Amino acid sequence: MRFIDEAKIRIAAGHGGRGCVSFRREAFVPRGGPDGGDGGDGGNIIVWASSQLGTLQDFRYKRVYQAKNGRPGSGANKAGRDGEDIEIRVPLGTVIRDTTTGEVLIDMAKDKQSWVACRGGRGGKGNAHFATSTFQTPKFAQPGEDGEAKELILELKLLADIGIIGLPNAGKSTLISRLSAARPKIADYPFTTLTPNLGVVKIQDYDAFVIADVPGLIEGAHKGAGLGHKFLKHIERTNVLIHLLDGAAILEDAAGAETLFKKYNTIRHELEMFDKGLLNKPEVVAINKTDVLQPDTAKKIIKKFRRKIPNTFLISGVSGEGISDMLACAVRLLKHRETA
């Protein structure tokens, strides 16, 4: 199933039903007064957040939502039936914006959270409502009010505690598959991952947390280059970042650690260009694929990195080496972030 994380929809609540103009006409009742009933209220458009959904796929096929109008009132003081509400379900983490102004209307971040996106119009009052002791035969009634109508942009931002970022082929999908039950597509070519993957990680001293594998970013991603640009927004909600570097890349480059520093700074620059606040997130650097490096080479690299970035680890997504230490550090940062 294709991952859809943006959609535009048009919604309209129902109009209120008109009030009725009617007079009581019964045998042997000489002075029947007004008995026009009120119109029914129009149906609302209600948005619900659901943890059972993970994509905005449904809105690819249905983009217009129209609630029912209220029914008109009738004689004998009978009120019209209210229009039925329409409920729209969206995934957790969906941000809803006004299409015209771009204003954020609501952030659907809690399961079963509801929001009345458009209110139905009120039904009009029937002529019975306007009768008084001095004005006993009103021959008018109110029309129903119009329901609200809007165009909305739905933008899904995944809710994850820890995000895995890095250049293509750094081994993000392999890592998340080892840490959790997520089974993303893995292959030896760039841009294997075309959609974000979520996994739940359980460890002894921490109940569970959600980890996200964000598709590979490249230089110029904040301008729309590559496949990762549309997924930068998914990093915004994470509390901790695991920055994955491809240790095998230095096999083809004599510069060694400097090559990895350049790749590291490339991604950091893209984060800054998209949102400077991303640079303030706690970060763990994991140099992956170290199973293919000579031990002496690996030691030199980690020593140079830790001078600048203390939370740096050598890991192997294939063998599992170093992952437990790296993960323990990420969890410590996550706990500190949540209690700060």
User: Model-level pTM?
Assistant: 0.70
Tens digit of each residue's pLDDT (9 = 90 or more) over 304-326: 889 889 999 999 888 888 998 99
The bridge status of strand 283-288 relative to strand 240-246 is parallel
Structure confidence at residue 286 (pLDDT): 93
Q: Are 51 and 105 in contact (CB under 8 A)?
A: no
Q: Are 46 and 83 in contact (CB under 8 A)?
A: no
Taken in order of first residue, the domains within the chain and their CATH numbers are: 6-156 (2.70.210.12), 162-339 (3.40.50.300)
pLDDT along the chain (340 residues), means of 10: 74 97 78 89 97 84 95 95 96 92 93 96 95 88 96 87 84 79 46 57 68 67 50 80 86 67 88 88 91 81 88 89 91 82
Percent of the chain with pLDDT over 90: 41
Amino acid at 262: K
Structure confidence at residue 36 (pLDDT): 94
Amino acid at 97: R
Q: Are 138 and 130 in contact (CB under 8 A)?
A: yes
Judge residue 172's burial from the number of C-beta atoms within 10 Å of its C-beta, 0-12 exposed, 13-18 middle, 19 or more buried: buried
Structure confidence at residue 226 (pLDDT): 46
Tens digit of each residue's pLDDT (9 = 90 or more) over 133-175: 888 889 999 999 999 999 999 988 877 788 888 887 777 778 8
Q: Are 83 and 42 in contact (CB under 8 A)?
A: yes
Q: Are 169 and 193 in contact (CB under 8 A)?
A: no
